[in-house]
């Protein structure tokens, strides 16, 4: 049925195309005003580079060679000209240079009355990160950690995002794009770490290379993750805005994803396993003071705790929002918040002791106080007004330590690039 519809559409386009050609011929014969529609020239950006070697923000001038054309631009959606082609249905009418920061996605279209609209020009900007200082209000032991980002890392939240994301996610850019929410992050922790060095490059963090402000010793008893150091990334998560439960065979969290979710402070979430032959329980001894560590390409990440992200407490034995999984379901601490902001009535949860068989049909054990084999259950929370599936940090039988996710996603997973 779908194939038939597509075929008809293609034929219709061919017919229109032929019609346009006869119009042209007619114009030539009668030497009346041409009916060929001009297409407005696609906007160009000045400077024309997308990768800046200096820290931002930078100002971008947008222009078009079509005289008298209006330009609509947006950093969160595809701009659309209005019917009169003098302004914008979506986006902002260009009047002065646009300020862009790292990971800003700038889109522009040119419109002019009587013309076809131009193509949309899209550029994603990257710029050097100077992560030398933390805000004075943020200290390694502060309970408000997560409120501020390090220098040059900004928070940009599309107003169209749900409040749970818009009001809680920081140190990243997120926006609605069709049926998905896109999260972009340079993945630089907004806290001190043993793995923060003075240069934006991978390599051993020798004593004289330690970042004066951001370096901190490992917790007592922990050891270095080899010579791994934190390196600036360009993570882009495309996550379904309306998550859906997967049926049939579940998607494994260990299927080679760059990351399986993003934390409220813009950091990569990894699965419940370590690279063989290591076990995650053994690798946990390389976690820094905030329960994260970088892998060998410098991607800092959390398998387990995201210590002190929440408004209170020094661990995740609470109901704070920790992040979002690649399938769009939210991830909370070890308690469920009972759909209220108060912590007094938070529900202590019991983790599943079983492992998933990788099928939706095999999922068992979820209730208001217990979790299924994927660390999840379906209840209301203070962010979810109707009962919705969500994950909790929980003791994972595969990892044998507390982890944020299990071996499989409950929902249909989105995509991630770096």
336 binds Zn ion (CB under 5 A): yes
Q: What is the Cα–Cα distance from 263 to 302, expressed in whole angstroms?
A: 8
Q: Give the nearest distance from C-beta 280 to Zn ion in angstroms.
A: 7
Q: What is the Cα–Cα distance from 60 to 123, expressed in whole angstroms?
A: 11
Spatial neighbors of 227 by CB under 8 A, at least 6 apart, are 203, 204, 205
Q: Which is nearer to Zn ion, 117 or 318 (CB)?
A: 318
Q: Give the nearest distance from C-beta 326 to Zn ion in angstroms.
A: 17
**Residues between 352 and 411 that touch Zn ion (CB under 5 A):** none
Of the listed pieces 64-72, 138-146, 256-264, 331-339, which binds Zn ion according to CB under 5 A?
A: 331-339
Give the CB-nearest residue to Zn ion: 336
Q: Which is nearer to Zn ion, 101 or 272 (CB)?
A: 272
Q: Which is nearer to Zn ion, 186 or 336 (CB)?
A: 336
Q: What is the Cα–Cα distance from 105 to 313, expressed in whole angstroms?
A: 36
Q: What is the Cα–Cα distance from 53 to 106, expressed in whole angstroms?
A: 18
Q: Give the nearest distance from C-beta 331 to Zn ion in angstroms.
A: 10
Q: Give the nearest distance from C-beta 356 to Zn ion in angstroms.
A: 18
Q: What is the Cα–Cα distance from 299 to 168, expressed in whole angstroms?
A: 22
Tokens encoding 296: 């060998």
Q: Give the nearest distance from C-beta 43 to Zn ion in angstroms.
A: 42
Q: Which is nearer to Zn ion, 171 or 299 (CB)?
A: 299
Q: Which is nearer to Zn ion, 45 or 332 (CB)?
A: 332
CB 51 within 8 A of CB 127: yes
Q: What is the Cα–Cα distance from 182 to 164, expressed in whole angstroms?
A: 15
Please tell me the number of Cα atoms within 13 Å of 113 on its side-chain side. Answer: 4
Q: Which is nearer to Zn ion, 142 or 378 (CB)?
A: 378
Q: Which is nearer to Zn ion, 262 or 336 (CB)?
A: 336
Q: Give the nearest distance from C-beta 299 to Zn ion in angstroms.
A: 9
Per-residue x/- track, 98-117, Zn ion (CB under 5 A):
--------------------
Which H, E and C letters describe 208-251, residue by residue? HHECCCCECCCCCCCCCCCCCCCCCCCEEEEEECCCCECCCECC
Beta-carbon count within 10 A of 374 CB: 28
Beta-carbon count within 10 A of 11 CB: 10
| Site size toward Zn ion, by CB under 5 A | 1
Of the listed pieces 75-83, 168-176, 189-197, 334-342, which binds Zn ion according to CB under 5 A?
A: 334-342
Q: Give the nearest distance from C-beta 153 to Zn ion in angstroms.
A: 21
Q: Which is nearer to Zn ion, 46 or 370 (CB)?
A: 370
Q: Give the nearest distance from C-beta 240 to Zn ion in angstroms.
A: 20
Q: Which parts of this chain interact with Zn ion (CB under 5 A)? A: 336
């Amino acid at each position: 049925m779908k194939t038939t519809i597509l075929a008809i559409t293609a034929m219709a386009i061919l017919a229109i195309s032929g019609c346009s050609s006869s119009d042209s011929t007619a114009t030539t014969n009668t030497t009346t005003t041409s009916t060929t529609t001009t297409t407005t020239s696609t906007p160009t950006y000045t400077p024309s580079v997308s990768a800046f070697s200096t820290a931002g923000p930078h100002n971008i001038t947008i222009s078009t060679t079509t005289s008298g054309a209006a330009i609509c631009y947006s950093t969160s959606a595809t701009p659309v000209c209005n019917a009169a082609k003098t302004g914008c249905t979506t986006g902002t009418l260009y009047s002065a240079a646009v300020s862009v920061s790292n990971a800003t996605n700038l889109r522009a279209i040119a419109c002019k009355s009587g013309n076809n609209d131009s193509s949309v020009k899209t550029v994603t900007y990257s710029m050097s990160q100077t992560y030398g200082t933390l805000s004075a209000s943020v200290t390694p032991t502060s309970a408000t950690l997560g409120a501020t980002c390090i220098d040059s890392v900004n928070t940009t939240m599309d107003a169209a995002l749900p409040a749970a994301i818009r009001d809680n996610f920081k140190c990243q850019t997120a926006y609605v794009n069709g049926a998905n929410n896109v999260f972009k992050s340079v993945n630089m922790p907004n806290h001190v770490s043993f793995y923060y060095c003075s240069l934006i490059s991978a390599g051993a963090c020798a004593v004289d290379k330690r970042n004066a402000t951001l370096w901190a010793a490992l917790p007592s008893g922990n050891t270095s993750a080899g010579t791994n150091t934190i390196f600036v990334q360009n993570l882009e998560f495309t996550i379904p805005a309306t998550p859906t439960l997967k049926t049939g065979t579940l998607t494994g969290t260990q299927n080679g994803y760059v990351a399986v979710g993003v934390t409220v402070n813009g950091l990569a979430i990894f699965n419940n396993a370590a690279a063989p032959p290591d076990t995650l329980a053994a690798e946990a001894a390389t976690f820094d003071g905030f329960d994260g560590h970088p892998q060998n390409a410098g991607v800092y990440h959390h398998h387990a705790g995201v210590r002190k992200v929440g408004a209170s407490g020094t661990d995740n034995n609470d109901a704070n929002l920790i992040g979002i999984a690649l399938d769009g379901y939210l991830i909370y601490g070890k308690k469920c918040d009972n759909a209220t902001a108060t912590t007094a009535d938070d529900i202590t949860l019991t983790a599943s002791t079983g492992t998933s068989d990788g099928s939706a049909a095999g999922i068992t054990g979820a209730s208001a106080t217990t979790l299924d084999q994927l660390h999840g259950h379906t209840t209301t929370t203070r962010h979810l007004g109707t009962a919705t599936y969500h994950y909790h940090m929980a003791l994972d039988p595969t990892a044998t330590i507390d982890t944020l996710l299990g071996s499989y996603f409950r929902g249909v997973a989105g995509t991630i690039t770096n």
